[in-house]
Amino acid sequence: MNPVLPDEAVEFAAAAGKAFADLGGVDAAREAEETPSLRATKVADVLRALGVDDLDPRADADTLAAAAALCEAAGRVALPYPVPSVLLRDRSGRPFAVVPDARCRVDHGDLFPTWRVATLDGRSTTATSTDHRLATRLGPFVSDLVAGTEAAASSSTDVAIDVAVHLTLTAWHILGTADRAVELAVEHVSDRIQFGKPLSAFQAVQFQLADAAVAVAGLRELALFTLWRLTVAPEAATADVLALRVHALDVARAVLRTTQQLHGASGVCDEYDISVLTRHVQPALRLPCSAERAAAELTAAIERDGFDGLFPHGSIAARSSAG
Amino acid sequence: MDFDLGEQAAALRARLRELIATHIAEDYLGAFTTDPADLDVAQRFCKTLADEGLLTIAWPTEYGGGGGSVWDQTVVREEMWAHHEPRGAQYMGLNWVGPAIMAFGTDEQKRQHLSAIAAGDVIWCQGFSEPDAGSDLANLSTRATPDGDGWRLNGQKIWTSYAGMAQWCVLAARVGSGTRHEGITMFLVPMDTPGITVRPIRSMLGAHHLNEVFFEDAWAGPDAVLGGIGEGWAVIRKALAHERVGIARYARCERLLSALGRELAPVWDQLPPALHSQWARALIQVRVARLLAYRTVRAQEVGETPDVMASAARIAVTQCDQQVAEVLFQALDDESLEAGVRAPLHGAVEDHWRYAQAATVASGTIEVQRMIVSKALLADRSGGRS
């Protein structure tokens, strides 16, 4: 039992964090909203310098851990780039995304001409981008791709693993955002004086911070555990990955709500990082589906495969016993 | 990165389950029911575990233990709690009274008490909380006054679990006129000492869980002091650190959620979809609670003092206990009100719901845990500014 990221992954994340800070931190997201082309230039250059082109999270456990740590670092600053997707590019350099059943809606879909996409249940195809972006406050870089007619040339097992890794890396991105949101709230309530004392002196504030921090700590443990499951049993980790997705969404919703509230009116102002983080993480929370749909998929997966992981207590699968 | 507890832990888990299957009935709901035979089952099972060398598997060998790892201890905790703690009240002696005596006791205290605990012969209770010293334990006012070469004990304890069946009490009392942590001293006191009266408190938890204990000029000898006069707070801190990770509530939650899936299999599809989702989310919460508890164990393993981590884990574990209780009740609907062996899952769900209501209060309220966590968060911030 050694539930920690390898040192190399931690060091890589620190280097990535510094590079993203040098890029301007959350300001890079603000600038990209004004000038979307910066994503393909400044942001892509930074990632290239970090060696992201040589990182394949499917290669081995250490590389998967490094990829996860990178996604967390990106989530901390709302890095305007589809990091999980480019990490899962194929040999032709096409990025990969998990998409909703109804349409090929992808964050930063306009950045690359062709994509590989798959639905949660593993139906895969290629897709091509258009210049159209939603360009909304909550989906500034979200694009609808045009699905191709040919299935992507990958085995169903490979696609399933790509889906699982994409969902997991996206959860790490969400973890980074949630973790940073708690830090921002701690900073704000420590500095903001009301009634003659810092907001942090109020127990109602302290308790909300504590609950948010515990929620993020729990999400981090589950994210680590899921990485390990993907390493030791990639083909049996469907329920584990969906559980991480559901939990990441549940935690992010609660933590972002709390931390925004603790910022007062500033929480909805883009001058404050919490507002930008909350807006820019929405595509990760809604694509390929929101928490309730993910929970329905999870329930089906547990009924089918169980949820024992390490800790067997006999068959947990409800429907399998029903015959 | 590795989350595997290893082959030794897996073998230990299998062995414990085998023993439980052999000695503990499927419908056993713990030692503290209205049926005295259930207490006898627990006492016998402790002897069985002692004979098998499993009762003190995690104690150091020099004190008659198995020298097992913190992970062995974790497996024991999980399997016992998952199966309604068939060690009954003795878990307290094993989990922290024994270790506290090892850390703070005299040679004579170690000789007298450790072998008795290890043999499965003795039940301990802890005299900590008082009517005016609950979360604020340092406000305790039970007094120990010098009398000859010993002490006279006067005061009242409350919420004292198992006081009615315990042979010994670890008592926190104040020596001298100090306030807060000053003068707090721990005493090891036989419960049959004249001047000690136990009054059970009727509660939804069931028999033996909560009691008041009155000390009226009860006498304790000079050798009753554990850890030195006025040094009781250090003992309490160590005890609470053990206790906060001491109950693997998540293990029972997981077992009950699994059992519920099987119990309701014939009607599973007819349950409201929202309930399916609550059930799945409860399983996630159980996993998260377990992983946070493991983080604390890991910190202990590498020699850290995981105060803040233990509080975070405890917040997650106790909230999970209550969340699971509610999901189980929602699923059973009107049948949830039934108790006893004819009730769904032999009454285990009804028992769990009642007991879970105290989860966020027992061993330090969730509010105290939140204070500890938020203090650490905000200290980091002020540390960063200075």
- Shortest CA distance from B373: residue in chain A: A210
Quote the longest CA-to-CA distance of chain B: 73
Q: How far apart are CA B237 and CA B115, in angstroms?
A: 24
Residue A152: per-residue pLDDT = 59
Residue A310: per-residue pLDDT = 60
Nearest to B262 among A1, A229, A315 (CB): A315
**Closest Cα partner for A166 from A280, A89, A113?**
A89
Residue B374 to residue A307, Cβ atoms within 8 A: no
Residues B67 and B170 in one domain: no
Residue type for position B76: V
Q: How far apart are CA B239 and CA B248, in angstroms?
A: 16
Poorest-confidence range of A233-237, B183-187, B212-216? A233-237
Is A166 inside a domain boundary? yes
Q: How far apart are CA B153 and CA A132, in angstroms?
A: 81
Domain count for chain B? 3
User: In angstroms, what separates the C-alpha of B35 from chain A's closest C-alpha?
Assistant: 28
Residue B303: per-residue pLDDT = 84
Please, which residues bridge with residue B199 across strands?
A: B212
The alpha carbon of residue B256 and the mean position of all alpha carbons in its chain are separated, in whole angstroms, by 19
Under a CB-based contact definition with an 8 Å cutoff, are residues B290 and B316 in contact?
no
Domain range for A242:
156-308
Predicted confidence (pLDDT) per residue in B56-74, tens digit: 998 999 898 999 998 998 9
Residues B274 and B376 in one domain: yes
Nearest to A228 among B1, B292, B312 (CB): B1
Task: Give A216-261 as a DSSP string.
Answer: HHHHHHHHHHHHHHHHH-GGG-HHHHHHHHHHHHHHHHHHHHHHHH
Residue A153: per-residue pLDDT = 64
Stretch B287-310: mean pLDDT: 90
The residue from B64, B88, B112 where one domain ends is B88
Considering only residues 252 to 271 of chain B, which have any Cβ-Cβ distance to chain A shorter than 8 Å? Answer: 254-255, 257-258, 261-262, 264-266, 268-269
Residue A307 to residue B283, Cβ atoms within 8 A: yes
Residue B35: per-residue pLDDT = 87
Domain count for chain A? 1
Residues B253 and B167 in one domain: no
Contacts of A65 in chain B (CB under 8 A): 1
Residues B321 and B347 in one domain: yes
Is B107 inside a domain boundary? no
**Closest Cα partner for B359 from B386, B319, B316, B303?**
B319
The residue from B70, B88, B106 where one domain ends is B88
Is B239 inside a domain boundary? no
Query: Does the pLDDT at position B307 exceed 60?
Result: yes
User: In angstroms, what separates the C-alpha of A9 from chain B's closest C-alpha?
Assistant: 11
Is B114 inside a domain boundary? no
Contacts of B380 in chain A (CB under 8 A): 186
Residues B254 and B205 in one domain: no
Under a CB-based contact definition with an 8 Å cutoff, are residues A19 and A46 in contact?
yes
Residue B226: CATH number of its domain: 2.40.110.10
- H helices of B194-338, where? 232-244, 249-263, 273-301, 307-332
Residue B340: CATH number of its domain: 1.20.140.10
Contacts of A314 in chain B (CB under 8 A): 258, 262
Stretch B73-93: mean pLDDT: 92
> Which strand (E) or helix (H) includes residue A178?
helix A156-191
Assign A215 to helix, strand or coil. Answer: helix
Is A210 inside a domain boundary? yes
Q: Which residues of chain A have pLDDT under 50?
A: 315-323
Stretch B110-128: mean pLDDT: 94
Residue A276: CATH number of its domain: 1.20.140.10
Residue B241: per-residue pLDDT = 67
Residue B374: per-residue pLDDT = 97
Q: Mutating which of A231, A316, A319 best tests the B interface, going by the most B Cβ atoms within 10 A?
A: A316
Is B79 inside a domain boundary? yes
Query: Does the pLDDT at position B382 exceed 80?
Result: no
Residues B270 and B356 in one domain: yes
Domain range for B377:
245-385
Contacts of B382 in chain A (CB under 8 A): 190
Q: What is the ipTM of this complex?
A: 0.95
User: In angstroms, what separates the C-alpha of B312 from chain A's closest C-alpha?
Assistant: 6
Residue B306: per-residue pLDDT = 79
Residues B155 and B61 in one domain: no
Structure tokens at A106: 């992808």
- Shortest CA distance from A303: residue in chain B: B261
Residues B369 and B272 in one domain: yes
Residue type for position A288: P
Is A85 inside a domain boundary? no
Residues B347 and B299 in one domain: yes
Is B194 inside a domain boundary? yes
Residues B221 and B281 in one domain: no
- Shortest CA distance from B267: residue in chain A: A322
- Shortest CA distance from A250: residue in chain B: B281
Is A111 inside a domain boundary? no
Residues B38 and B131 in one domain: no
User: In angstroms, what separates the C-alpha of A94 from chain B's closest C-alpha?
Assistant: 30
Query: Does the pLDDT at position B211 exceed 90?
Result: yes
CA distances from A293 to A100, A120, A124, A318 (A): 11, 11, 19, 19
**Closest Cα partner for B167 from B209, B122, B126, B105?**
B122
Residue B283 to residue A302, Cβ atoms within 8 A: yes
Is B142 inside a domain boundary? yes
Residue B375: per-residue pLDDT = 96
The residue from B206, B232, B258 where one domain ends is B232
Under a CB-based contact definition with an 8 Å cutoff, are residues A244 and A168 in contact?
yes
Nearest to A2 among B1, B262, B279 (CB): B1
Backbone angles phi, psi at B352, to 5 degrees: -65, -45
Beta-carbon neighbour count of residue B206 at 10 Å?
A: 16
Residue A213 to residue B312, Cβ atoms within 8 A: yes
Is A97 inside a domain boundary? no
pLDDT level of residue B300 (50, 70, 90 thresholds): confident
